[in-house]
């Protein structure tokens, strides 16, 4: 497996500094959140060049802030879909190997979840078509149990992928979300669909803490995953003001897990 850092860990730092940090710590890849790219005015082609010069592979996490591609508010839905599609174009420019996208969600507690699956399938069908044209792959992420989320199980995400039936569309398995939900990491039937993986520590209160601070057994999930998956695993953690320390600690823990070494 190839270890990637995520800019959700380093959101307070300039991207140039982040790339130097992850290279020096021994990470093989960097997952850049679209908002971090946009907030810093960083051109995708420049990001590609800077990453290549440091020997880093890139993945892109699509935009998430205040977005919902299945919103019943037509303006929000249209803008959300527009930003997702822009992210695909920029992912191609930056040479990203995979793009992570969140699924749609409800708009209110009174909504019928069944009514949201057809528009979600229609939109991600468009995503799959454009992704294939751009030579990219997209992984739809399974979400945590929180208000308005629908796709809170990787098997639900995989079912959506199967219904669309496009080779360019797969699953981003978020291990922390599964553990935070209190669910077993049941991977049977997901093997062919997993295009990308997120991992982090998780607790009863938070889904994304440093690996060493998680109370659930993410290491066992990683062991199950490595039986068939050899792609990129992006570590997502955020502690305000401790980006550098968290990056270093997460890499140390992840290397120990993959080497089956004690962490002490």
- The C-alpha R_g of the chain, in whole angstroms, comes to 17
| Structural domains counted in the chain | 1
Specify the pTM: 0.96
What distance in Å separates the CA atoms of residue 253 and residue 3, rounded to the nearest whole number?
11
Average pLDDT over every residue of 208-237: 94
- Structural domain of 45: 2-258
Mean pLDDT of 53-62: 98
Average pLDDT, the chain: 96
| pLDDT (tens digit per residue) in 226-254 | 999 999 999 999 999 999 999 999 999 99
Does residue 156 sit within a domain?
A: yes
Residue (of 206, 87, 193) closest to 140 by Cα position: 193
Per-residue pLDDT of 109-123, as tens digits, reads: 999 999 999 999 999
Cβ atoms of 129 and 136 within 8 Å: the answer is no
Assess if residue 263 is contained within a domain.
no
Per-residue pLDDT for 261 more than 90?
Answer: no
- Position 260 scores a pLDDT of 79
* pLDDT band per the 50, 70, 90 thresholds, residue 167: very high
In a domain, 50, yes or no: yes
Is 264 inside a domain boundary? no
pLDDT of residue 119: 98
Dihedral sign (CA 241, 247, 250, 253): negative
Averaged over 187-193, what is the pLDDT? Answer: 96
Query: pLDDT tier at 217 (50, 70, 90 boundaries)?
Result: very high
Mean pLDDT of 178-196: 95
State the CATH number of the domain containing residue 45. 3.20.20.150
Q: pLDDT digit string (tens) for 1-51? A: 999 999 999 999 999 999 999 999 999 999 999 999 999 999 999 999 999
Q: CA-to-CA distance for 255 and 52, rounded, in angstroms?
A: 23
């Amino acid at each position: 497996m190839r270890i990637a850092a995520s800019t959700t860990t380093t959101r307070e730092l300039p991207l140039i500094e982040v790339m130097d940090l992850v290279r020096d710590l021994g990470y093989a890849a960097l997952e850049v959140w679209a908002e971090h790219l946009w907030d810093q005015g960083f051109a995708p082609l420049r990001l590609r060049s800077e990453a290549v010069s440091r020997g880093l592979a890139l993945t892109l996490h699509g935009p998430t802030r205040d977005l919902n591609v299945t919103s019943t508010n037509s303006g929000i839905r249209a803008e959300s879909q527009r930003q997702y599609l822009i992210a695909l174009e920029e992912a191609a420019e930056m040479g990203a190997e995979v793009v992570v996208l969140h699924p749609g969600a409800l708009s209110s507690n009174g909504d019928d979840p069944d009514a949201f699956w057809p528009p979600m399938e229609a939109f991600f069908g468009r995503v799959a078509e454009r992704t294939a044209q751009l030579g990219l792959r997209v992984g739809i992420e399974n979400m945590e149990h929180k208000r308005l989320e629908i796709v809170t199980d990787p098997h639900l995400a995989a079912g959506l992928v199967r219904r669309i039936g496009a080779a360019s569309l797969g699953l981003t398995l978020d291990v922390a979300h599964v553990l935070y939900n209190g669910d077993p990491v049941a991977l049977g039937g997901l093997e062919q669909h997993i295009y990308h993986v997120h991992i982090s520590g998780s607790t009863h209160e938070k889904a994304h803490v440093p690996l060493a601070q998680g109370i659930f057994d993410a290491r066992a999930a990683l062991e199950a995953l490595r039986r068939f998956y050899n792609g990129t695993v992006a570590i997502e953690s955020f502690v305000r003001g401790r980006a550098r320390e968290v990056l270093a600690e997460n890499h140390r823990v992840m290397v120990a897990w993959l080497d089956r070494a004690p962490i002490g």
